Structure 1
Amino acid sequence: MRGLTFGALMWLVLSALGAHADDTTDNTDDGAQVAPSSVAGPDVDKTLRETVENLDEAMYSPFIERYMLDELKALRTEMAAQRIELTEKLVDRHVESIDRGVSYATNTITYFFYLIAGVSSILVLVGWTSVRDIKERMNKIADEEVGKLVETYEKRLRLIEHQLTQKTQHIDENREEIERTQELHSLWLKAAQETLSANKIAIYDQILEMRPDDCEALTYKADEVLELGEVQWAINLCQHALTIDPDNAHAFYQLACAKTMLGNHDQAIHYLRETLERADSYRQTVMEDPALEPLYELEEFKALLSN
């Protein structure tokens, strides 16, 4: 009632990598290259596929788990470092722009003061007004200009602060998502190691606590529940999964197994038809699953597999 295990898939990938490594050319003592000793062909792929499909248990290795977790952690850490570096560059660029703006404003105000001083000197010389009036007016104009500049750059600084806050929140969310993904991956690997259905159900419950809308966890939990004979419980889990993903082929397949155990053969064939319409890869599993043996002699079942 279950597809290929995670361990079997990892074995297939490692086997393919090993076959590719064996195909590389060898060098002789004088530097000449020798042709590949072997080339993986269709017969090798077929043999690997048959070996994987006939596995009785997951070929799991703690070394593979450690390797996969380290690679995932290194990748996520590198992505977070790139985001932080990009944020720092953006901040530095904004700070440089502000520095140039402040320098320009300072020079402008200085030149403005020189102009006012020159005009004031001329006006004093011609007797237009007193030095006090000129000083008060100059201070007032200067305060107004400085106030406008300060207000403008305060707005810009607040905008930069807001952007930095958003970037920081985004980085924290990504970090939490990385930690959650690593924990989920560890739970899936732990579930693949377990042999008791009760222990697997407990692990799937932990996954669902972290991601309640995980259809895969719901359907695999339904599979283990069927192993314990809790048919109605399994049906409820599959229906819940279909409310989240109406095209989930695994949920339809588990419903077919549950209906077969209840003796509702017509409904079981209906769910099998829904399964094969969405994923034809279940055809071989349907033909070999002991839970579906009561359907093997039915004409509807034979017609379904012959299409």
Structure 2
Amino acid sequence: MSRVVAILLFTFLTFSPFSSAQDETESDVRQTVDTLEEPLYSPFIERYMLDELKQLRIDQEKTKQELIQQIVDREHKSVDRAVAYATDTVTYFFYLIAAATSVLVLVGWTSIRDIKERVHTIAEEEISKIIRQSEKRLAEIETVLKQETQNIQENRDEIERTQEVQSLWLRAQRESSFASKIEIYDEILKLRHNDCDALTYKADAVLELNEPNWAVNLCHQVLKIDPDNSHAFYQLACAYTVLEQYDEALRYIAEAIKRRDSYLDDIRTDPALEPLVTNEVFQELSNLIAGSSEESNG
């Protein structure tokens, strides 16, 4: 028992706040304890030490309880703040819903169903509008595509027709028979009904076959299409010369020379117009044209 008391005394002296004031070191205390010959304590001292130890434990337990209580209080405060924040958030959310509902009621929407129906109606109207616009645009695009396709097809047909007409003109140039040439010109006219060149060259060919009236008819067809066609006037002059209607021939040759003065050289070398060249009126006409041409050149 004395040994235990000595140890307790050593512990008390070691951890006591007054131990720093003593001059003895720890080794001295140990030596003193080991060399004890009689007890250094009395029952009063032992009781005092036990009471101090008990009180120390009580103080430690109280401190622990205080720390635990502070931690619990802080946790409670954190939970309270979280609950308060959640409550405020939900409250504000319901306030917002109430305000939105009030606004909707003020503008005439009394329920969420009305909002849904209104949204569906607006969406259907917009979709219908977009569909109508898209259909209109597609129809316009389809019309443009059809027109472009038609133009492409017409251009293709025109190119093929032009190539065929060109080949017919080459055949007519190589052909020596006037009857065969007339047939080729007729084929050209089947492809192009208003081809003035084909009509005038056909008139020239029928004149070679001694058909002046036919030639006159063909030349008048040309003048209906092209009133300033100089070749048609020239062929009319040739036809009326063959018919010995020199006044008409002179009138038409004057129209031809008015539009192309180079016909003066052709007239003098053309056998069909030989009776007309010897006419005094034609001589006066050619002199008049030659004089005006010199004045213009001067």
With the length of structure 1 as denominator, give the TM-score of the two structures: 0.55
- 8 A Cα contact 1:283 1:305, kept in partner: yes
Q: Which residue does 1:241 correspond to in 2?
A: 222
| Offset of residue 180 of structure 1 | 1.4
**Residue 78 of structure 1 corresponds to which residue in structure 2?**
none
Q: Distance in 1 between matches of 2:256 and 2:286?
A: 12
Secondary structure, in 3 states, of the residue corresponding to 2:194? coil
Q: Deviation string for 1:243-291 (max 9, x for gaps)?
A: 2222211111111111221222222222211111111111111010111
8 Å contact from structure 1 (residues 124, 131) kept in 2: no
Which 5+ residue runs of structure 2 have no aligned equivalent? 1-92, 289-298
Question: Aligned AA for 2:207?
Answer: L
- Letter aligned with residue 165 of structure 1: K
Matched with 2:252 is 271
TM superposition shift of 1:205: 0.6
> Distance between the aligned counterparts of 1:262 and 1:181, measured in 2?
36
**Most deviating of 196-205 and 266-275:** 266-275
Work out whether residues 200 and 231 of structure 2, in 8 Å CA contact, stay in contact via their aligned partners in 1: yes
Is it true that 1:220 corresponds to 2:201 in the alignment? yes
* Per-residue deviation, residues 24-62 of structure 1 (Å, max 9, x unmatched): xxxxxxxxxxxxxxxxxxxxxxxxxxxxxxxxxxxxxxx
Matched letter for residue 277 of structure 1: K
Gaps of 5+ in 1: 1-117
Counterpart residue identity of residue 157, structure 2: E
Q: CA RMSD in A?
A: 2.5
1:203 maps to 2:178: no
Q: Is the 8 A contact 1:124 1:130 kept in 2?
A: no
1:295 is the counterpart of 2:270: no
Supply the AA of the counterpart residue of 1:122. Answer: I
- Given candidates 129, 132, 138, the residue that maps to 1:148 is 129
Q: CA 1:144/1:123 → structure 2, altered by over 3 Å: closer, same or farther? A: farther
Verify the 8 A CA contact 1:194 1:200 in the aligned structure 2: yes
Secondary structure at 2:262 match in 1: helix
Counterpart-to-counterpart distance in 1, 2:247 and 2:202: 24
**Partner letter of residue 97 of structure 2?**
I
Contact 1:204 1:217 in 2 (8 A): yes
Deviation of 1:295 (Å): 2.6
Q: Which residue of 2 aligns with 1:282?
A: 263
Quick one: distance in 2 between partners of 1:245 and 1:288? 26
Query: Offset of 1:130 from its aligned partner?
Result: 5.8
The percent of aligned pairs where both chains have the same amino acid is 55
What amino acid maps onto 1:259 in structure 2? Y
Cα 1:268–1:141 shift into 2, 3 Å:
closer
Whole-angstrom CA distance in 2 between matches of 1:257 and 1:278: 16
Q: Deviations over 1:57-104 (max 9, x none)?
A: xxxxxxxxxxxxxxxxxxxxxxxxxxxxxxxxxxxxxxxxxxxxxxxx
Q: Does 1:122 align with 2:103?
A: no
2: distance between equivalents of 1:251 and 1:295? Answer: 17
Q: In the aligned structure 1, how far is the partner of 2:276 from the partner of 2:128?
A: 85
Distance 1:130 1:240, change over 3 A: closer
Distance 1:133 1:266, change over 3 A: closer
Question: Equivalent residue of 1:263, what SS?
Answer: coil
The residue identity in structure 2 corresponding to 1:240 is Q
Which of the two has higher C-alpha Rg?
2
Shift of 1:143: 2.4
Cα distance per residue 1:113-142 (max 9 Å; x no partner): xxxxx9xx9369969766555444433333
Q: CA deviation at 1:296?
A: 3.2
TM-score (norm. length: structure 2)? 0.57
Q: Which has the higher contact order (CA 8 A, sep 6+)?
A: 1
Alignment partner of 1:157 out of 127, 132, 138: 138
Give distance in 2, aligned partners of 1:244 and 1:266.
24
Matched, 1:184 2:126: no
